[in-house]
Amino acid sequence: MSIYTRNVPRLVEKLTKTLLDGPGNFKIVSDFDFTLSNTTSYASWTSIEQSPYTSDKYRIETSAMAHMYHEKEIDLSIPFDKKVEYMLEWFYYSEKYLREENISRDKYNKMLKFAQEHVCLRVGVNELFHLSHFLRVPLLVFSAGIGDIIDSVLISQFKHCYVPINPYYQITQEDEQCQLENPPVSNETRAQNLTLDIPEHLLTLHSPSSPLEYGSVQGIPRTIYIIANHLEFERCNTVQIDDSTNTAQNTSENDIPTSELIRIDRRTHHYTDVVSGFYTNNNTVGPIHILNKHEELVKTAPYYKDHIYPRKNVILMGDALGDADMVAKSSTDNVIRVGFLNTSKSKSVEQYLNIYLDEFDIVFVDCDDGIGWVNLVLKFFEDNFLNYLERTNGQGNNNNVEINVCSIIHDMCKGIQQIRE
């Protein structure tokens, strides 16, 4: 395994606090492309660019543009402010070329199906989602990619997967829709012998009356929130047949009486919606790109402010240097930054490892083990769930949790290589 850290004692300190505090004070913040998705599949943007439903001209233009701007994104000699200009420029042209394709809803749906087949998740991501849902741990996915693609890929993953329900939490309507079979109950025998006054915040924390406007996509567990660039549609101009001259005329929607149907080649034709660009938070924050995606984008959402923001133990996952800032470094939160260094011809281990270690607490080089490493934290929470409840209700002490923490930290730090500055 190629796993590195700059400071083992500091990593152990952060892990210890996270594990002792339990799932009620924990959240996960993650990038999507090449962090949750694997490096051999398409990114969300690439799945659109390489789909058979876009033109050759579009594919050539976007491929050349992606190569040029990605090189600028990872170029360590370019100042931050200049990189932001390049990222905005990249987004502007990406949106422009996409709009020029006149993608209808029918073609859009075919593109989503193509993406489901070509955007693959890393090993362990399904388990990550299931455990975070079971434990009611919020998982915020920030992406500069296309939110519609991410939503679609995740929905396709959950469609045929069993999502467990934690018997110690209130079951919401959304939970019931996700549950496809009776769940196995962890520690069932022990639970039957316990009479616990479960704290109200543990019961209601994940049953908001108004979820984050960015997340809670139908078909995805409501503990997962997607903050990304989502496509917007507008009604395009239509074509009307003039029966007297049998000639076609371009006509806007407002010019056609509502009582009339449009006939094209004697077939009934309905108005067509086409992709007009992107919207993000009602256009108040502009496009989400690699250098501006962070928790500030959702800070005004009531549910985030009341129920997610107060959780001060965070695991952050990302594959780009800019991802390390999804949670501000000035934050007082206890943040474990997990970096995925995916090497390429222009991004070698020798050139980038030390830089990644300056930004991330632990770095996984060209491997999926980072997801499994994070899952160990969630599995620990699951295995010790009743211990946390007993402690919270004064029916137990901290000893059981502390003993188990020492054991899991030993396992989690096994094989990590420390590289000093």
CATH number at residue 398: 3.40.50.1000
Task: Give the Cα separation of 368 and 364 in Å (integer).
Answer: 8
Tokens standing for residue 208: 């908001």
Average pLDDT for 391-417: 79
293 and 263 in a common domain: no
Residue 166 has pLDDT above 60, yes or no: no
Residue 313 has pLDDT above 50, yes or no: yes
Query: Where is pLDDT greater, at 184 or 151?
Result: 151
Q: Domain count for the chain, please give it.
A: 2
248 and 360 in a common domain: no
Residue 179 has pLDDT above 70, yes or no: no
Q: In what order do the strands lie in the sheet with 3-5?
A: 273-279, 224-235, 139-146, 26-30, 313-318, 334-341, 362-365, 3-5, 417-418
144 and 122 in a common domain: yes
Average pLDDT for 5-23: 94
364 and 256 in a common domain: no
Residue 216 has pLDDT above 60, yes or no: no
221 and 99 in a common domain: yes
Q: What does pLDDT average to over the chain?
A: 77
Residue ending a domain, among 248, 271, 294, is: 271
Residue 341 has pLDDT above 90, yes or no: yes
Question: Which of the residue ranges 72-76, 78-82, 321-325, 384-388 would you say has the lowest mean pLDDT?
Answer: 384-388
Residue 270 has pLDDT above 80, yes or no: no
141 and 18 in a common domain: yes
Q: By the 8 A CB rule, do 271 and 239 touch?
A: no
Please list, in sequence order, all residues whose beta carbon lies within 8 angstroms of the beta carbon of residue 209, skipping any fewer than 6 positions away.
none
Please list, in sequence order, all residues whose beta carbon lies within 8 angstroms of the beta carbon of residue 60, skipping any fewer than 6 positions away.
none
Average pLDDT for 149-177: 59
pTM: 0.78
pLDDT at residue number 401? 79
Residue 70 has pLDDT above 70, yes or no: yes
pLDDT at residue number 343? 86
250 and 137 in a common domain: no
403 and 257 in a common domain: no
285 and 153 in a common domain: yes
308 and 257 in a common domain: no
252 and 395 in a common domain: no
256 and 394 in a common domain: no
Q: Which domain holds residue 249?
A: 240-271
Query: Where is pLDDT greater, at 344 or 127?
Result: 127
Query: Strands 273-279 and 224-235, how do they pair?
Result: antiparallel
